[in-house]
């Protein structure tokens, strides 16, 4: 079994959750925050048998879209010492997936 840690955009999270639940996958949903944008995102934890991994990855791919967003970064203007903010385009998602070996899966 593998533990998938799947970070997705909030707008995709419920569609992905529904698509996975429809096929009886067991999921834990966490409300998380991205370190770079400091905006809310969603992290799903899924314990998945090896033979189901392709199916799960396929569902994730179909339900999570790449999007472009804008953020601002601070740029010190060297002459004045005053900080300016500069807009910056960022590509987010579709999904970031960590796949971890599970030593034991116990439900008591
Ligand atoms: P955030 O940290 O808010 O990052 C949002 C997007 O900003 C990232 O999209 C990436 O395109 C960009 N980004 C992140 N760090 C950057 C940097 N230092 N310089 C320039 N651009 C940067 P994704 O790569 O799709 O990541 C989406 C979310 O997945 C991240 O939200 C973070 O919550 C999580 N994530 C991504 N890689 C991770 C990692 N290696 N470890 C832990 N969490 C990760």
Q: What is the pLDDT of residues 4-42, one digit of tens each?
A: 999 999 999 999 999 999 999 999 999 999 999 999 999
* pLDDT of residue 80 exceeding 90: no
What's this model's pTM, rounded to 2 decimal places?
Answer: 0.92
CB distance 9 to ligand 1 below 6 Å: no
3-state secondary structure of 1: coil
pLDDT computed for residue 74 by the predictor: 80
DSSP-assigned states of every residue in 5-58: EEEE-HHHHHHHHHHHHHTT--EEEEEEE-TTT--EEEEEEEEE-GGGHHHHHH
Q: How far is the CA of 58 from the centre of ligand 1 (A)?
A: 21
Residue 19: partners with Cβ closer than 8 Å, 6 or more residues away = 59, 62, 63
CB distance 41 to ligand 1 below 6 Å: yes
User: DSSP letter at 62?
Assistant: H
Q: How far is the CA of 21 from the centre of ligand 1 (A)?
A: 26
Strands 67-76 and 27-33: unpaired
Q: How far is the CA of 43 from the centre of ligand 1 (A)?
A: 13
Q: How far is the CA of 35 from the centre of ligand 1 (A)?
A: 7
pLDDT computed for residue 84 by the predictor: 79
pLDDT digits (tens, 9 = 90+) for 52-73: 999 999 999 999 999 999 998 8
- Determine which residue's CA is closest to atom 13 belonging to ligand 1: 36
């Amino acid at each position: 079994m593998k533990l998938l840690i799947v970070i997705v955009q909030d707008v995709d999270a419920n569609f992905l959750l529904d698509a996975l639940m429809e096929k009886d996958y067991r999921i834990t949903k966490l409300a998380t925050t991205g370190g770079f944008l400091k905006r809310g995102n969603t992290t799903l934890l899924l314990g998945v048998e090896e033979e189901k991994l392709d199916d799960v990855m396929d569902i994730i791919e179909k339900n999570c879209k790449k999007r472009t967003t804008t953020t601002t970064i601070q740029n010190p203007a060297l002459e004045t010492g005053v900080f300016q903010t500069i807009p910056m385009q960022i590509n987010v998602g579709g999904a970031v997936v960590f796949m971890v070996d599970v030593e034991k899966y116990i439900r008591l």
